[in-house]
Amino acid sequence: MSEESVEIVRRLFAAHARRDMTAIAEMYDPSIEWEDVSGLWGDWGVRRGRDGVREAFASWFKAFEDVTFTAEDFFDAGEHVVVATRLRGRGRGSGLEVDQRITLVWTVNDRRVTHVRGYRDRSDALEALGLSRSPGNVEQYRRAAQAFNEGDLDSLLAVMDPEVEAYPRLAPIEGGYSGHDGVRRWFESLSTAFPDFHSVVVDVRDLGHLTFAELRNRGRGAGSDTPFEQSSWHVAEWRDGKCIRWQVYSTRGEALDAVGLSE
């Protein structure tokens, strides 16, 4: 049921993105309860029932324009789905830009969402679910992806071995990068070329000492109004909780070949 729950939550985010209120209502249980304990969403508090949730979102869209909710990562937590979410918008009249990250924990029963709870930090959400144990390789990968999206280079390097070997997408042309200094140069170069580049973790698999991840990347080039969207596949090697090597592939087939698997 957990994989099905993840797919239901994915469809809900897609429905929110296109403002399809009919589809949204059908995926929420009539007794849906949505609560915010992050303190980031003002007077949201606890909203109950479809009408309560609808009214809460209506107040958001009344106060802000150009509102987007982007799911940056889906984590299957058994009975729950943990989603790292980015909220962006602009205040109507004030022009104030809002850019927040919040972690939402979704509970799905009988193919409908029955409960949602918002947390300020991912660690708070995982602790509430009893998942605050020492992280495995998959969780470390997710932490790295979150740090990357937040532009937090220090946290990104914290999950990498000091002698990490990195091979990003253009490595066949530019060569790889070695150590924290190399990763720092790659990170700064990418940030300069694509200031709003971010990645959504579609899926990440545990292959023992390796992780295999599919990402969907979006952004715009510096000085360009033309957006791009592309997929990539990452293979990372881990030792003692630290990434010692990672490589990016343009196709799923190439990535699978690299780890000795097939479609």
* Better-scored residue on pLDDT, 163 or 260: 163
pLDDT per residue as tens digits for the range 16-42: 888 888 888 889 999 999 998 877 666
CATH topology of domain 137-258: Nuclear Transport Factor 2; Chain: A, (3.10.450)
* pLDDT on residue 263: 59
* pLDDT on residue 72: 83
Distances in Å between the Cα of 120 and the Cα atoms of 115, 126, 152, 217 are 17, 11, 16, 24
Q: What percent of the chain has pLDDT over 90?
A: 38
- For the cut 80, the answer to whether the pLDDT of residue 247 exceeds it is yes
- For the cut 60, the answer to whether the pLDDT of residue 214 exceeds it is yes
SS3 207: strand
- For the cut 60, the answer to whether the pLDDT of residue 173 exceeds it is no
* pLDDT on residue 1: 45
CA–CA dist 240, 136 (Å, integer): 9
Q: Where are the domains of the chain?
A: 2-128, 137-258
pLDDT per residue as tens digits for the range 181-201: 999 999 998 888 888 888 989
CA 75, 77, 78, 81: dihedral to nearest 10 degrees?
A: -60
**Using an 8 Å Cβ cutoff, are 107 and 128 in contact?**
no
For the record, the structure tokens of 131 come out as 């998942």
pLDDT per residue as tens digits for the range 56-111: 888 878 888 888 888 888 888 878 999 988 888 888 888 888 888 889 999 999 99
- For the cut 90, the answer to whether the pLDDT of residue 9 exceeds it is yes
* pLDDT on residue 171: 58
Is 137-258 the same fold as 2-128?
A: yes
Class at the top of the CATH hierarchy for domain 2-128: alpha beta
